């Protein structure tokens, strides 16, 4: 059976100009890269292509220059950081199109690595402008996409170009696609999802898709308040989207129809003020006072969630159970994260986490490394959880 996506295993890169789209949108301070995680993720793809004798031409965006050339959004300092991570020289070309890029590439030997300037210095990049696509495609013989986090956008360097050259997934993209397939594509059942975070309104499509796919949907965070409110409970001053009550009831009814069990918290940690170390108490969700707000799920709910997770084979997690950035409201998220990490390490569970805040929470709980996979891709991960086709990924599909 052929693999669903073309990978580096099927790519002929020796002696070829390989345009490698990577995510180098790293945080910087005074021109220095402060977190190299994104570079580390693509390092093995870069060195593998170079070791196979390809000329590695790195394509990436940086910041939001919106078609303007700005020094603050130049990728130049990032070239040095890439060189440091992979322990090899990395050249830099001050343009990603035209004579400057062409000259830099013409001077490359097999195995050399060059980073081209920010693709978003051209307006047409984000518009998938055919002229930009053509200009980029001219620079290479093969295209490899290792930027899952940018794959939900049909841009010239993430999608358009994939139709002009032989196109393959890099190793980081491949790992991401394999993890996502484990989680929702073809999961070992029963499969559960945790959806937490602030608001129902921002995760409507995600909830709608998940109830069709998972056996158990565990709802936490601020959005659980809206569901509790929809069930007629008083949530006091809690974050709650009262105008979403009908939507929440519809989700619960649809879940029942789809044989997806929904688990809501039964108790909560509440406080009168939302600030670090505010005096807090634990109450059943039926007894939240008018001047209190729910800032975390309570200990009984933690046990209930952990027991439920103990019965499933696969778990996909997006969103914290409480306001985890503000102690003591991190307790439930961290406790459950540790249990998930433990079950995964024991081989009893496959756990995939993703989304900005979730990655931060799992890192802080010290368990990200114990998960089967943690996706650093925010928007792309969410769109994938919503069941949407990601254009940058679709372009790599074996048809």
The catalytic residue positions are: 38, 199, 356, 379
* Burial zone of 151 (CB within 10 Å; 0-12 exposed, 13-18 middle, 19+ buried): buried
Cα–Cα distance measured from residue 238 to residue 272, given in angstroms and rounded to the nearest whole number: 10
Helix (H) or strand (E) run with residue 50 in it: helix 37-51
H/E stretch holding 134: helix 130-137
Distance CA 294, CA 222 (A): 8
User: What is the nearest approach in angstroms of ligand AMP to the Cβ of residue 77?
Assistant: 29
Shortest separation between residue 234's beta carbon and ligand AMP, angstroms: 15
Name residues whose C-beta falls within 8 Å of residue 369's C-beta, 6 or more positions apart in sequence: none
**Spatial separation of the C-alpha atoms in residues 199 and 203, rounded to whole Å:** 7
3-state secondary structure 254-290: HHHHCCCEEECCCEEEEECCCCCCCCEEEEEHHHCCC
Nearer CB in complex with ligand AMP: 198/245: 198
* Smaller CB separation from ligand AMP, 133 or 270: 270
Residue 229 or 324: which CB sits closer to ligand AMP? Answer: 324
Kindly tell me which of 50 and 297 has the beta carbon lying closer to ligand AMP: 297
> Closer to ligand AMP at the Cβ: 90 or 217?
217
CB of 115 to ligand AMP, least distance (A): 31
Q: Residue 254 contacts by C-beta under 8 Å, 6 or more apart in sequence?
A: 208, 211
Q: How far is the CB of 200 from ligand AMP (least distance, A)?
A: 9
Residue 73: phi, psi to the nearest 5? -105, 15
Q: Name the minimum Å distance from CB 39 to ligand AMP.
A: 25
The answer to whether 252 and 277 have CB atoms below 8 angstroms apart is no
- Work out how close the CB of 195 gets to ligand AMP at its nearest, in angstroms, rounded to a whole number: 9
Binding site for ligand AMP (CB under 6 A): 197-199, 202, 221-222, 239, 294-295, 319-320, 322-325, 357
Reported residue count of the chain is 399
For the sheet containing 55-59, what is the strand order? 91-93, 113-116, 55-59, 17-21, 142-145, 167-169
Report the residue number, 142 or 219, with the smaller CB distance to ligand AMP. 219
Residue whose C-beta lies closest to ligand AMP: 197
């Amino acid at each position: 059976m052929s693999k669903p996506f073309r990978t580096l295993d099927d790519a002929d890169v020796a002696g070829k100009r390989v345009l490698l789209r990577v995510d180098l949108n790293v945080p910087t301070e005074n021109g220095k890269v402060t977190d190299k995680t994104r570079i580390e993720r693509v390092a093995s793809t870069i060195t593998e292509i170079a070791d196979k004798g390809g000329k590695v031409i790195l394509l990436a965006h940086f910041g939001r220059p919106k078609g303007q050339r700005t020094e603050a959004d130049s990728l130049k300092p990032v070239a040095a950081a890439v060189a440091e991570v992979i322990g090899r020289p990395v050249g830099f070309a001050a343009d990603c199109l035209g004579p400057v890029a062409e000259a830099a590439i013409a001077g490359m030997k097999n195995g050399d690595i060059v980073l081209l300037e920010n693709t978003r210095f051209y307006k047409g990049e984000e518009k998938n402008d055919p002229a930009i696509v053509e200009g980029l495609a001219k620079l290479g013989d093969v295209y490899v996409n290792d930027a899952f986090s940018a794959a939900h956008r049909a841009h010239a360097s993430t999608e358009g170009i994939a139709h002009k050259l032989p196109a393959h997934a890099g190793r980081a993209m491949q790992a991401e696609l394999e993890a996502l397939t484990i989680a929702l594509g073809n999961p070992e059942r029963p499969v559960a999802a945790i959806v937490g975070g602030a608001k129902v309104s921002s995760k409507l499509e995600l909830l709608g898709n998940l109830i069709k796919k998972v056996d158990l949907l565990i709802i936490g965070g601020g959005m659980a308040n809206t569901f509790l409110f929809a069930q007629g409970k008083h949530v006091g001053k809690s974050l709650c989207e009262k105008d979403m009550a009908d939507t929440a009831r519809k989700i619960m009814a649809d879940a029942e129809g789809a044989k997806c069990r929904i688990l809501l918290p039964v108790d909560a940690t509440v406080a009168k003020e939302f600030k670090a170390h505010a005096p807090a108490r634990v109450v059943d969700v039926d007894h939240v006072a008018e001047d209190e707000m729910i800032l975390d799920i309570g200990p009984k709910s933690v046990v209930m969630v952990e027991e439920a997770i103990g019965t499933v084979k696969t778990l996909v997690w997006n969103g914290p159970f409480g306001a985890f950035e503000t102690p003591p409201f991190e307790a439930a998220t961290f406790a459950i994260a540790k249990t998930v990490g433990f079950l995964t390490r024991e081989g009893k569970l496959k756990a995939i986490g993703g989304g900005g805040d979730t990655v931060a929470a799992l890192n802080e709980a010290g368990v990200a490394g114990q998960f089967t996979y943690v996706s650093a891709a925010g928007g792309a991960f969410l769109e994938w959880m919503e069941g949407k086709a990601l254009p940058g990924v679709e372009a790599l599909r074996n048809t």
